Amino acid sequence: MTVEFICPHCNVEQKTDWNPESSLACDACHVNLSHFTSAKTDVVERCGVCGHDKFYLQKDFNPRLGLLIFAIGVIFSYHTKFISLFVATAIDFILYYMIPTVTICYQCRAIYRGFKENPAHQGYNHVHALKYVPKPKRA
């Protein structure tokens, strides 16, 4: 199980293995960040970086690679009598079911890989995410 986050104290990107017996800490500034309160160590209920409890789920897949697969399918579609589009769709379908899901914190965007899915977490919700957009400071 790994946690990928940006340290709120020094703004350094971190990727660390999470161990239930130890606390989550920044490797650069050595600040203890662990806010985990879960009795079940394999399910994320509270963010270990910022302490918030609102998360969303998404597939751990680079969207640019997905667009590249379909762009290649479209480019060759005329020459292959559109068979390449069916192949690109089949590749996308297979990847969707093979690639694992990650849990992401709405507040700090920390990424939790290797944890079990929490049934309370759902896909990305734009309306819910607007609550966590940083507000501009007024002069």
Average pLDDT over residues 92-118: 92
pLDDT at 10: 87
Each residue of 35-53: pLDDT tens digit? 665 555 688 888 888 888 8
pLDDT at 29: 84
Beta strands in 7-108 (DSSP E): 13-17, 55-59, 101-105
User: For a pLDDT cut of 70, what percent of the chain falls above it?
Assistant: 88
H-helix or E-strand containing 97?
helix 83-98
> Using 50, 70 and 90 to split pLDDT, how confident is the model at 87?
very high
- Greatest mean pLDDT among 11-20, 33-42, 99-108: 99-108
Q: In what order do the strands lie in the sheet with 13-17?
A: 13-17, 2-6, 111-113, 101-105, 55-59, 122-123
- pLDDT for 72 beyond 60: yes
Q: Where are the domains of the chain?
A: 1-38+46-55, 58-101
